[in-house]
Amino acid sequence: MTESSKVGSPIKVSVETFYVEAQSEPEKDKYVFAYTITIKNHSLCNAKLESRYWLITDANGKETEVEGEGVVGETPTIRPGESYKYTSGAVLDTPVGTMEGYYMMRNEFGAEFKAPISVFRLSTPNILH
């Protein structure tokens, strides 16, 4: 599990990644990855996840930006000390890549803030040492 949050953010994001071999087709340059994100609220007030931004980069340097409302069709409100967990996925043209980004959050007083997600690696098993 990768702890993927910046110091000072009241929201801590951890990431676990998986290669989905059954859905991948390496001979067609299609590599499917799943990732499970856990978002923990370390602040003293509720935080609602309103939108997300991802920068996905494959080993060829191809960058894909993904933006949208919420995550997996939800805009969860996370109470102080509680966590929200979800699983999603990405498809790359290469067996290795990275993802990074942020969540736009809003606290119960209406203030918006970014919860940064540090870069994490997507890779097929045994490709990196």
Please check whether residue 13 lies inside any domain of the structure. Answer: yes
Please check whether residue 59 lies inside any domain of the structure. Answer: yes
The series of mean pLDDT values per 10 residues for the chain, 129 residues long, is 56 97 97 98 97 98 97 97 98 98 96 96 82
Please check whether residue 34 lies inside any domain of the structure. Answer: yes
Q: What is the pLDDT of residue 8?
A: 66
Q: What is the pLDDT of residue 58?
A: 97
Please check whether residue 64 lies inside any domain of the structure. Answer: yes
Gyration radius from the chain CA atoms: 15
Please check whether residue 82 lies inside any domain of the structure. Answer: yes
Please check whether residue 48 lies inside any domain of the structure. Answer: yes
Tally of structural domains, the chain: 1
Query: Virtual CA dihedral for 120, 63, 47, 111, nearest 10 degrees?
Result: 130
Q: What is the pLDDT of residue 128?
A: 57
Q: How many residues does the chain have?
A: 129
Contact 42, 101 (CB under 8 A): no
Question: Containing domain of residue 66, as a range?
Answer: 2-118
Q: What is the rounded CA–CA span in Å between residue 44 and residue 12?
A: 14
Please check whether residue 129 lies inside any domain of the structure. Answer: no
Residue 47's CATH number: 2.60.40.1470
Q: What is the pLDDT of residue 1?
A: 44
